[in-house]
Amino acid sequence: MSAELPSPSAAPTSSPSAPGEPVTPDAPRSSWSRQGSTALLTDRYELTMLQASLADGTAHRHCVFEVFTRRLPAGRRYGVLAGTGRLLEALADFRFGDEELSYLSRHQVVDRATIDFLERYRFSGSITGYAEGECFFPSSPVLVVEGTFAEAVLLETLALSVLNYDSAVASAASRMTSAAVDRPCLEMGSRRAHEEAAVAASRAAVVAGFTGTSNLEAGRRYGVPTIGTVAHAFTLLHDDEESAFASQLAAQGTGTTLLVDTYDTLQGVRNAVAAAGTGLGAVRLDSGDLTSLAHDVRALLDELGATETKIVVSSDLDEHAIAALAVAPVDSYGVGTSVVTGSGAPTCGMVYKIVAREGADGVLAPVAKASAKKSTSGGRKTAARRYGPDGRVVEEVVVHGADEAVAGWSPTDTDLRPLHVPLVVGGAVDTRWTGSTGVQRAAERHHASRAELPRGARRLSAGDPAVPTTWLALEA
């Protein structure tokens, strides 16, 4: 961690780093981390549905599926879509190879005819949806998958597992970066999550405005700037705090961040300045009453002449703690557990539902569930956002009605912005949304999307969604 940190809205960069500054990875890659098939990252019933539909002849009916959430988590005013790029990367590896097919056959999950189909499986349909980083609200379709039933149904679990988790993290992270205003937030939650979830969380946090991560795999894979210096174990390894500081400074230079609260915090500050001089990059506080301690540490640093030395705070921070520290002389926040767990809302409740299917007559017809409290609205949909005279969002618009009219719709009202963008066309993934470029694009989109929300949308107190969802019906 360094004295100079990126601004909250900064996208990942590739500039070299000085000792003690966030380390930017050399060559980010976008391929799936397991370096293998993603096809079994699914639920068994996807394949058993496929088997039955292949047998009865409905598997090749043209279908439209959509992903949406019925409600936001309690108290949340908006959500943030994240994970789209990861989903597209996983889609590229959604292939049933010898190992996957052997497992399915050996355990009699599906029959021989289905095995033969899966061996040749390639998604050749289309996917549209919100640009990653866009804020979202209930009922609006954030992703639309179109293809045969056989092609599209297999993607349900993969799509939901990626989008639900990443969007939960990004939604929490956005609240944190909003509360931090212009102070950088740094993601440090790897040890509180599954090893692969840790990488996904790092990426999602950066989409929502975090400026760096402690996770090196996220740095390598997605070009996210990485940060980190030492833990308390390093101080405790040495005979005293002074020798620990001297060792760290020798290795990382005076621009580093010294952890000063292993023993006595204020004495730790004195030892840090004595060891590094007044050009010390930063000190980190990881325990105690952070608000009062930050004031005391700032006063002491200034008294010692280290007026440019920054103060970094960590220790179980969430958006509420960050907001409470607004009056404290803090320069950046390190966030762990709360961000990787969605800060109390670890999923977005997104669902993947069929909304239209080709009938025996070859015509695409709307279909819907009527289940109590789980009903759906049939038919193809798209989405737009309406703006008021001040340039802020006044409503989310779900466009529905005659299939051809919806498929070809573009707004004639100048106050409407369409939200859906092409992600997969004819089975080909648009790579603008993947890899490090996709992360940067998503971070920029979120910064702009959040800035358009009504002023009350950023309040951390409980309340209804900041923007109402309305419906616009189109005639044939």
143-148 and 62-69 beta bridge pairing: antiparallel
Q: What CATH number is given to the structural domain containing 310?
A: 3.20.20.70
Q: Is residue 214 part of a domain?
A: yes
Contact predicate 449/421, CB 8 Å = no
Say yes or no: 216 and 251 in one domain. Answer: yes
Please tell me the distance from the alpha carbon of residue 132 to that of residue 83, in angstroms, as a whole number.
7
Q: How is residue 286 written in tokens?
A: 């990881």
Which uninterrupted H or E stretch holds 310? strand 310-313
Please tell me the distance from the alpha carbon of residue 435 to that of residue 222, in angstroms, as a whole number.
5
| Cα of 329 vs its chain's centroid, Å | 29
Say yes or no: 144 and 193 in one domain. Answer: no
Q: Is residue 286 part of a domain?
A: yes
Contact predicate 165/345, CB 8 Å = no
Say yes or no: 118 and 190 in one domain. Answer: no
Say yes or no: 134 and 54 in one domain. Answer: yes
Alpha helices in 127-155 (DSSP H): 149-153
Q: Is residue 168 part of a domain?
A: no
Tell which of 317, 344, 371 closes a domain. 344
Please state whether the predicted TM-score (pTM) of the whole model is above 0.75. Answer: yes
Q: Give, for all 476 residues of the chain, the pLDDT tens digit.
A: 333 333 333 334 333 333 333 333 333 334 444 458 999 999 999 999 999 999 999 999 999 999 999 999 988 999 999 999 999 999 999 999 999 999 999 999 999 999 999 999 999 999 999 999 999 999 999 999 999 999 999 999 999 999 999 999 999 999 999 999 999 999 999 999 999 999 999 999 999 999 999 999 999 999 999 999 999 999 999 999 999 999 999 999 999 999 999 999 999 999 999 999 999 999 999 999 999 999 999 999 999 999 999 999 999 999 999 999 999 999 999 999 999 999 999 999 999 999 999 999 999 999 998 888 788 899 999 999 999 999 999 999 999 999 999 999 999 888 999 999 999 999 999 999 999 999 999 999 999 999 999 988 999 988 899 999 999 999 87
Q: Is residue 2 part of a domain?
A: no
Say yes or no: 285 and 253 in one domain. Answer: yes
Tell which of 344, 364, 393 closes a domain. 344
User: Which residues on adjacent β-strands are paired with residue 240?
Assistant: none
Tell which of 344, 365, 398 closes a domain. 344
Residue 143's φ and ψ, nearest 5 degrees, are: -150, 135
Q: Is residue 39 part of a domain?
A: no
Say yes or no: 226 and 82 in one domain. Answer: no
Place of tokens 């999950």: 109
CA distances from 43 to 46, 50, 55, 160, 407 (A): 6, 12, 20, 11, 30
Say yes or no: 228 and 193 in one domain. Answer: yes
For the chain, the domain total comes to 2
Say yes or no: 364 and 279 in one domain. Answer: no
Say yes or no: 369 and 320 in one domain. Answer: no
Please tell me the distance from the alpha carbon of residue 210 to that of residue 243, in angstroms, as a whole number.
33
Please tell me the distance from the alpha carbon of residue 285 to that of residue 462, in angstroms, as a whole number.
30
Say yes or no: 221 and 264 in one domain. Answer: yes
User: Which residues on adjacent β-strands are paired with residue 312?
Assistant: 284, 332
Q: Is residue 430 part of a domain?
A: yes
Q: What CATH number is given to the structural domain containing 73?
A: 3.20.140.10
Q: Is residue 178 part of a domain?
A: no
Which uninterrupted H or E stretch holds 98? helix 98-106
Q: Is residue 161 part of a domain?
A: no
Say yes or no: 375 and 300 in one domain. Answer: no
Q: What is the CA radius of gyration of the chain?
A: 25
Q: 109 lies in which domain range?
A: 44-153+350-379+420-467
Say yes or no: 133 and 228 in one domain. Answer: no
Contact predicate 313/333, CB 8 Å = yes
Please tell me the distance from the alpha carbon of residue 326 to that of residue 328, in angstroms, as a whole number.
6
Q: What is the pLDDT of residue 192?
A: 95
Torsion of CA 152, 154, 156, 161, to 10 degrees: -140
